[in-house]
């Protein structure tokens, strides 16, 4: 069985060469971009004329950003199994 898209696109070490300050800056940048895409999706839905292909691409990009945000948050706050 093939690895899920998330595992294929993102590797948990993809931000491994960044220090904590750089990770925090990257996290904020990704969150800003995610919010901007969210606003763009909402605006497109509210105007009534929606290009379904564009909406699908925007939503897919939002999900990819969310995955990257999760990876960085996980690196900043790793789970410690006691």
pTM: 0.74
Dist. CA 64–CA 6, nearest whole Å: 8
| pLDDT given for residue 13 in this prediction | 59
Q: In this predicted structure, what is the pLDDT of residue 82?
A: 60
pLDDT tens digits in sequence order for the chain, 82 residues long: 344 445 445 555 567 778 899 999 999 999 999 999 999 999 988 888 778 898 999 999 999 999 999 999 998 887 777 6
């Amino acid at each position: 069985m093939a690895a899920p898209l998330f595992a294929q696109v993102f590797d948990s070490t993809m931000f491994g060469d960044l220090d904590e300050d750089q990770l925090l800056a990257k996290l904020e940048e990704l969150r800003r971009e995610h919010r901007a895409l969210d606003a763009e999706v909402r605006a497109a839905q509210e105007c009534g004329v929606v290009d379904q292909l564009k909406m699908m691409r925007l939503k897919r990009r939002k999900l990819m950003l969310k995955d990257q945000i999760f990876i960085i948050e996980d690196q900043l706050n790793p789970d410690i199994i006691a």
